[in-house]
A and B are shown apart, each in its own frame.
Chain A
Amino acid sequence: MHSFLRAYPTEAKLLAVLVLICIGLSIASPDFLTLVNFTSLLNNNAVNVIWAVGLLVVLIAGGIDISFAVAASVVQYLCVYAFAAIGGGNWAIGFLFAGGFGLALGLVNAFLIHQFRIVSIVVTISTFNAFFGLLMFFSSGRFLYNLPSWWSGRVILWEYQTANGTWAELILPVLVMAVCMAATWVLIRRTTTGRQLYAFGDNPEGARRAGIPIGLMQAIAFGWCGMMAGIAGLMQAHITKEVVPNALVGRELEVLAAVVLGGARLGGGRGSVLGCFLGVLLVAVTQNGLNLLGVSPYAFKMVVGVIILLAISTSNLDPARLFDPRKGRRA
């Protein structure tokens, strides 16, 4: 426990806040602490978590990506036409195509950033606009409903009828989320490449001097983020059973906020999969709780803003400093 607190101070803090909010909400609303509410929380946030772990890798490597949610929409359209072209497809081909298209879009970002030495926020704001413009132009804003049945058919992994007759269930995106989390964890914690990503984000010049290939690092970070975005796009269409060109625009900031809340540092070198997951959950639980309490959805946006400000302004605060005036002043 002690070593966990020490290695993951932000995550521990986040977990504590999450638990407190859950306790508060379960007292305030009888509907909160129910199996149905819990499973739907997971179902509804799986897509965000998949995006979040992809974005996490970019943040760790010292970059930022604004384009991933729009990239997911592009992947959805490409997939619809690609599946039609090959005569239907199946889940295996679906993941391959969605991941592949997403990867390619991510590599576009990496190429621009590395080749022209442009900061990632500028590049991804441009690709955000370029991707979205192209998508609206070619799709003419049309919705697509004719998804292959394997794609739009609901895949229930586990279900359970509760005492009052409602069903608690877990759907495919939750499993995909778990796999994406595990894969990202292996990449960043257990492989040498992942540690190089941390090092590169932490001190790019030091990494370069140590012989870490910079271009490869950018390609892995943005490629991974793109791949996760593609998979998230596949899952989102699976849930909504339709493809809408402007459905995902705007989600990128919500995800970015959750990832930063989860302890990833804008500037690189810090962040964890667990933190990402907790960050997304904290935002979701807050929203869920306010819903159950009948608070206006507009209030939710405000609350999220406050949470993010608090999280960012206290993330570098060492509790020990609060009690040592001398150090506190210098912080």
Chain B
Amino acid sequence: MPADAVAPDALRFSAISKIFGGVKAVDDVSFTVGTGEVHCLAGENGCGKSTLIKIITGVYQPEPGAAMEIFGQAYAQISPTQARKAGIAVIWQDLALFAEMTVAENIAFETILGNRPRAVSYARLRRVAAAALARLDVDLDLDARLGTLPIAQRQIVAIARALVSDARLIFMDEPTASLTESETDALLSVVRNLSARGVAVVFVSHRLAEVLEISSRVTVLRDGKLVGVFPTEGLTHSRLTELMTGTVISHDVMARDTGGRPEVLRIEGLTRAGEFEDISLTLRAGEVVGLTGLIGAGRTELCHSLFGMTRADRGRITLNGQDLQLRSNRDAVAAGIAYVSEDRLALGLIQPQSIADNTVLSVLRQISGAGGLLSSRKKDATVSHWIKKLAVKIGTPADAVSTLSGGNQQRIVLAKWLATRPKVLLLDCPTVGVDVGARAGIFRIVRQLAEQGLAILLVSDEVPEVFLNADRVLHMAGGRIAHEWDPRRTGLPEMEAAVYA
């Protein structure tokens, strides 16, 4: 970072520890961020990233012995108010914005805070908001209701709001988790812009590609301990994964020749106006077919039609040679099609309910005994079978699903559908919000399932995922299938160039 040599570091924390109930969540970690630097804080879920951020922002107090310095000033203790006054802002993943209020009010929210009632000046609100957006070089409609904006623009609003409170060090928690490629690019350019104006940004992200693209240094944590601080230059994707997980994850292409296997699902000329057009594809037994493309290319919509949630206007679907008429997703389940949705948290699981109840949700009829009442014996057997088979890490099956990590939640969703004994599995972006180590686990399961004869359609917007894990890769663009690739013949750069073109 060729920053001004005299300027003090934005943040200089050392010997930070935090113990929760005898467990060291953060163990003697040092963390330094230069003024105007774009820094990345990397590590798997549960490595201590969030605890560290909460210590820095004053939510938690560290154990005695910590040395804390913000913009050259030493603190013995930091309260949330002090952290905010010192110029530290956090943009949480859920953004904490106000959907019913206007963009201007959200950005200039600071100006309406305070316990003593004052008159609101809407002119001042707009002025403050416009100034913040101007600093970001972004143009947004100040009077639009926030709820009408796409997530990417709300993110910009959250950043602008941090600027209004004179933030000089902004933490961004998984800022790109729900953004498309081009939205991510726009966000990254805003981050560069901030950095050029001397605002330091700390990225907390699972997506390694953008970590490598944007930051100058990476601080890696693992199991609460500091693995090290590395300059991004010269750091590769696989090296960073190794540092985060402490294990070497294979980056070999898994594709096999599946041409001779029996066809399970065949789609011919499937069309649904405005969503996808003239889609023909086949899935063979034991085959993993990757389906990639930008968000909005029609991938999810295609899955919905294959799962009977929407009806195609034209085209044929055949399963094991028989014509399939899907009037609803019940038909699809009955025919042997399972769909693991994109939005696991909202659609795939009932968060407050137990692990066991979620697992058997799709097979209630099979586990009912005499008189149609649920048999708890059959239920327990089903649950323990799948938990063992998918190696889900749980406390007890009676715990709420919300207590599980992202990777384990994803396995429960899988278990729920596998319990229906499907022939075809549609996996829609199974790794969104799941960290690197757990991703490898999910793909191992996908492979195992394929080896047992399941036909799998793996949808992902991350091209490397399908490149590494699918037997064939289909590229969808503008509602049509644009390319079909064999990962053993076509390289990743060529695929990425075509997808992101």
Task: Report A's interface with B, CB cutoff 8 A.
Answer: 3, 6-7, 189-196, 198-199, 201-203, 205-207, 209-213, 216, 265, 268-270, 325-326, 329
Contact = CB atoms under 8 A, between A and B. Distances in A.
Interface centre among A203, A207, A212, by most B CB within 10 Å?
A: A203
15 contacts: A3-B143, A6-B143, A189-B120, A190-B119, A195-B101, A195-B112, A198-B100, A201-B100, A202-B98, A202-B99, A205-B94, A209-B96, A325-B273, A325-B274, A326-B274
A189 B109 CA distance: 14
A212 B113 contact: yes
Contacts of A209: 92, 96
A225 B310 CA distance: 46
Contacts of A206: 95-98
A198 B120 contact: no
B96 A213 contact: no
Contacts of A198: 98, 100-101
B96 A199 contact: no
A189 to B, nearest CB: 7
B37 to A, nearest CB: 26
Contacts of B120: 189-192, 194-195
A211 B143 CA distance: 24
A203 B97 contact: yes
B119 A191 contact: yes
Contacts of A269: 98-101
Nearest to B275: A326
Interface of B: 81, 92, 94-101, 105, 109, 111-115, 117-120, 143, 273-275, 310
Nearest to A189: B120
Nearest to A201: B100
A235 B122 CA distance: 35
A124 to B, nearest CB: 23
A196 B96 contact: no
Given A190-B119, A195-B120, A211 B113 contact: yes
A210 B96 contact: yes
Summarize A's interface: helix, strand, loop or mixed: helix
Given A195-B105, A326-B275, A202 B117 contact: no
A192 B117 contact: yes
Contact of B117 (A193, A205, A211, A268): A193
A199 B114 contact: no
Nearest to A270: B100
Given A7-B143, A192-B112, A199 B119 contact: no
Given A190-B119, A192-B111, 18 more contacts: A191-B117, A192-B113, A192-B117, A192-B118, A194-B120, A195-B120, A198-B98, A202-B101, A203-B96, A205-B96, A207-B98, A210-B113, A211-B113, A216-B115, A265-B100, A269-B101, A270-B100, A325-B274
A7 B143 CA distance: 8
A265 B147 CA distance: 14
Contacts of B112: 192, 195-196, 199
A220 to B, nearest CB: 9
Contacts of A205: 94, 96
Contacts of A268: 100
